[in-house]
Structure 1
Amino acid sequence: MYSQFIKELIDLPDVLIEKERKEGERWIFELSLPEQCPLCPVCLQRTTKMTRKKKQWMHGYAQRIGVFWIELPVERRRCCTCGMTFSTSYPGISPRSVATDVFQQWVAQSCIGTSIQAVARMLKLPYTTVERWFYTHAPSFLSNTIQPKAVCVDEFAFRKGHDYGVAVMDAETGEVYSIEAGKNEAAIRSALTCVSSSVQCVVSDLAPAMKKAIQGACPEAVHVVDYFHVIQLFTEALDRCRKYLAKGGKKHGNVRYVCCLLSQCPEKLTEEERQTVREWCKESDYLQVVYQSLQHFRYVSKSQGERQAKRRLEAWIHRYLFCTCSVVRAIAKALAKRTEEIISCILSPYSNGKMEGTNNKIKLIKRRGYGYRNIQRFALRVRLETATTLQ
């Protein structure tokens, strides 16, 4: 039973376990292979043994044992026909390495979800060694088949106010597929290249570069504008009006309370809160117009079909395109340029909400690594952290 446990721990079915020993804090398992005669790698003829020595490799990790080693004989052999000399090797074990491929892959997989430094401290290995193993084996964990039906595109900050990046994420699974440095049209189009063949729906914000890049990279996909960013145009306008009234000496109590009441649907408010909103709107014509335009747009967003949504949206744009309030006119002009995207926003079940949460996760990965100088390694780390399934 004891030998069977060691056999399962080592997980090398072709080897024979001779004995185990402990040297200091290291457990070493002495292994051997059945007698065999390796052929020459050049002429495939019989060879003879010249020298034989034992070599050790790190092979696994156990909770109470720590990192355990295996010891196998390495022979130096000579071909009887061509005189070629070579060292014998084992599958998955390089004679020049200090660890087996199985151990290196396990270490690389252990780094997913934590930092490389934490794994290096746990295993008492050099940081640079663990880092090299991670970036060597980690790409093999990712799937090469990328065929999403709907994706979300959004920008995030490497360094706020200075460096930005663009991320493309699966709208259904939340897996990030690509990251590119920059937030211009070329960067967005480059990020969408890996999903352009299969994507049917692309969700983004109202940035002009997003629209141009999506039309160029995914011309057959439906462009959906995120509903939150559309409503944000109205809430920002309401906030500006509220701040203008506050400068005039008219205080409205808690700022968060004011913004919350103005941006919420009237159906969700109590009668007392509705009365408070009416009093605020009476004090400013601009505030009243912005608030009414927001409620009318919410009525447009409740459309059930494409024809109804198009008819209501055209009526809304016709009503507020020449409004006396400049803020509402600017919103109407912005929506008039994106009529098809707004209709898709009303009818589509997808949004950028999951992408906004993933942006926060991307920033946490960046801070945990104290920044990344290599964008490819940063993208690899983000893909591994957000992947739903790994190979």
Structure 2
Amino acid sequence: MKVIQAFRQADKSWKYRQEKEVLKNPLVLVFGNRFLLEDKKVLEDIRNEFPYEHIVFGSTSGEIICCNVFENSITVTAIEFEKSSFVVEAESIFKYEKNAEQLGEDLHKKIPKENLKHLFVLSEGSFVNGSALINGLESNSELKTSMTGGMCGDDARFEKTLASYKDDPKEGEVVLIGFYGDTLEISYASYGGWMPFGPERIITKSNANILYEIDQKPALDLYKNYLGDKASQLPQASLFYPLNVTPEGKLKPVVRTILGIDDVNKSVILAGDVPMNSVVQLMMASVDGIVSGARKAAKFAMKDRENQPQLALLVSCVGRKLVMGQRVEEEIEQVQEIVGKDIAICGFYSYGEMAPFNGETACDLHNQTMTLTLISE
């Protein structure tokens, strides 16, 4: 595997992390600020600098390359597989009237299954219900292919997100990358570091990812009451206080971030499903807790590997970035310390992370986690 990485901040020239060279049919991952990805001149510059066919674009809430976290930048990671291969497919949520589960099912059908080793999802983050998308992608229970991924970001604006394969970045796109080959070793992990606080309550009315009532009281009113003066800053303020949700009959909770609010219905829209009768608590975090969580995620991902990874693909939540502030690179440094300083690291800050619970196979949607996908061949 050969990996060439470069980045450019707005109005600046490209900087390479390795010596620039021409690759053979690489997979090119482009993560960047949404405004830059809407700029035709920037896109032309990317295509001139990386004149390859298989380019995947995604907007972010912060770009990760090596142990640096950038804003208002473009990062590019071009991966040439020497012994294995990949296939990329994409669909638009608008073709499915925002039915993410059906989109996921149809998108999975387009991916060849022979020798399929792993799936990576890059989804727009504004319209797609991540839980429903995963359900669709995993609807064929006969296939036990592992899957990780993330939902694109838009800093903390929550206005719109962009993604695409080959085409210029656009709203509503979901991209699925299939990795193939017996020589591939892919491991993954996800961990948060946030702590629940306050009383446990019960979700008494919800529909998919829309939360209407907690303990038979309007969810938005209850949440605003907790936030106090910060309620006027919703939905951005919710990134500091996500929800810890334990569905009925489940032992492990998932974290849910609020993506939007509805003042008319007094409801909140979350990144993934919040089933009725789930136990719910508010959460909060410290910088040290988040950094420790990133280190634990890296240790889980490295635990049973036979070979040293060559590429670490990181998806971390925008909420973690906001809490850490100027210390945000500390969580990337912790990952690098565990996975190895010579490994290519790339990724982005997201509106949702996709990965199995540690030690499991079935994928789940997470918020407020550091999620790693480690690849070698």
Both structures adopt the same fold (TM-score exceeding 0.5): no
Q: TM-score range by the shorter chain?
A: under 0.3
Give the number of the structure whose alpha-carbon radius of gyration is greater: 1
The TM-score, its normalising length taken from structure 2, stands at 0.24
Higher relative contact order (CA closer than 8 Å, sequence separation 6+) = 2
* Structure number with higher strand proportion: 2
